[in-house]
Amino acid sequence: MTPLPRADVVIAGAGPVGLTLAIGLARQGASVHLFEKRPAFGMLPKMERCNARTMENFRRLGIEDEIRDAGLDNDMPMDVFICLEDVNRPPLVTHEYASVNELKRSYRSTHDGTTAAVPYQLISQYTLEPLLCEIARRYPSVQITFDRELTDFTQTEDAVQVELRSASGEGWEIDADYLVGCDGGASTVRDLLGFTLEGETLLAMRQALFRSDELLDRIPIGKGRHYHIADDKNSFLIVQDDKQHFSLHATVSSDEEMPPLFEKIIGFPIDYETLYVGGWQQRLMLANRYRDRRVFLAGDSAHLVIPTGGLGMNTGHGDAVDLAWKLAAVVGGWGGPGLLDSYEAERRPTGRRNIAASRRAAKGRRQWRDMWRPEIADESAAGERARADLREVAEREQRWSNDLYGIELGYRYMASPVLAYDAAPDSEDQPVEFEYSPSTLVGARLPNVWLRDGRPLQDEFGFEFTLIDTTPSGADASELAAAFERLGAPFRSIRPDSDHAARVYGEGLLLIRPDLHIAWSGDACPEDAQGLAMRLTGRYPASTAR
């Protein structure tokens, strides 16, 4: 095998999760070699939504504007329709959702911490992947190679040796400090580790991708992002980011049925092209483990979340953000082993929670779809009754799929070995709450407040530990700063130039990690500043971190 230059981190898989991880690592000083077994990026949409938390993270990486420019028109309404048989007649249910630009204006006038720093963005995976790849390649410390499939690896005390193969059979090997498997639901890394996916299998679906340059402007009921069809095939039409591609999902028995179904749903003659048809299986599954020594799982290799609720890629993105700063800290010499111990303790319960949320959303959608009756389109008393029954259930239950703000922003790390809890939470699991309530409890995402110059407070943070001081007269943080400095860990203290920070956060101190989760809180700086710094940087063994 041909040897390759050593990297700090090897990543298997150039999907959105692996590419985000590569960018995050490079941004924080680590060298990365990312390998992808595909010869090139494909055209299958897969994910189509970066939620608000994901876009906050992309903003912190400095790439929010590029993603929005490449994604769906930010002035387009995000409405969701439930239609009877086709998109021509008045919809049974319309759920109206503001455009991205409308949300930006609304967020900016909200001062109680209940909104994200930025709204979500619709962008198809076939658009996002090449964009993230191009951004990652701007960093000299990142190398990305296609047509390289990971076939094996071995771990030693101080390295991972990874073996790779091309489609033609040529082989390579590379040493790294760490390996991260972002190689999808059929993960080779997970299989080689001997980890298993545990969960449930739901519907067998087919997906088709169509192109039509004129369709969206001609839909009589108006523009939106999703068109659910009340039929016996679970039909669901999604507008892709350029508004010229449409993906259709349905439970039909053959690929050949998808184009005629598309024509039936449209209900009027239109020029279109079929680009792809294939089957896929809905699964809700969680890996029994996320890490073995120097090897980690992230994204679909660690959890499979059905598209209902849009949590799949976004959950994996959260894995990448969590893992990037921890690996970079350890590679950089200031992070201790407890940081790596904390990855599974933080992200696996989050994966389990998001799977539960997707299951609840799927149950809600299933409830109104089960109300379909053969007579539902009839102009009869029975037809009217069937429509009314479905409408009543759908009006309530479909919202579980679209109103997930609490799932996106409200997750809290409940049992982390590198957080300084006032009192240990009762469980490692947090409630599956769809409503978002801002929290300054340790482990929660820092709620957003606005600076006087109109920027979100998050813009003030780099990738260091940041002490937010909202005490009336200002705290002396010199001992805490010195404690982090002795460990070589980045640290700064700020008093937010905001009219609302003290009201949202209370008058006190919040210590924020590089991923914007609250690591410690108090009314005054801790007496044992060095002990706190050691705990938060993973210098204590996991068993004593609390």
Return mean pLDDT, the chain.
Answer: 95
The whole-model pTM stands at 0.96
In tens, the pLDDT along 450-469 reads 999 999 999 999 999 999 99
- Residue 540: pLDDT above 80? no
When pLDDT is averaged across residues 332-361 and rounded to a whole number, the result is: 96
- Residue 545: pLDDT above 50? no
220-234, 411-425, 433-447, 464-478: range with lowest mean pLDDT: 411-425
pLDDT value of residue 544? 36
- Residue 313: pLDDT above 90? yes
For domain 2-73+119-198+287-358, which CATH number applies: 3.40.1410.10, 3.30.930.10, 3.50.50.60, 3.30.200.20?
A: 3.50.50.60
Among 168, 162, 161, 159, which Cα is nearest to 150's? 162
Cα gap 23→419, rounded to integer Å: 25
When pLDDT is averaged across residues 319-327 and rounded to a whole number, the result is: 98
Q: Report how far apart the first and last C-alpha atoms of the chain are (Å, whole number).
A: 46
Residue ranges matching CATH 3.50.50.60 in the chain = 2-73+119-198+287-358
Share of the chain above pLDDT 70, in %: 99
Residue ranges matching CATH 3.40.30.120 in the chain = 410-544
When pLDDT is averaged across residues 320-342 and rounded to a whole number, the result is: 97
In tens, the pLDDT along 99-150 reads 999 999 999 999 999 999 999 999 999 999 999 999 999 999 999 999 999 9
CATH top class, domain 410-544: alpha beta
Cα gap 76→99, rounded to integer Å: 5
pLDDT value of residue 546? 29
- Residue 504: pLDDT above 50? yes
Residue type, 258: M
In tens, the pLDDT along 419-448 reads 999 887 777 788 889 999 999 999 999 999
Which residues have a Cβ under 8 Å from the Cβ of 519 and sit 6 or more positions away? 418, 419, 420, 442, 465, 511, 512, 513, 536
Cβ(539)–Cβ(481) under 8 Å?
no
- Residue 541: pLDDT above 60? no
- Count of CA atoms in the C-beta half-sphere (13 A) of 137: 11
In tens, the pLDDT along 64-89 reads 999 999 999 999 999 999 999 999 99
pLDDT value of residue 429? 80
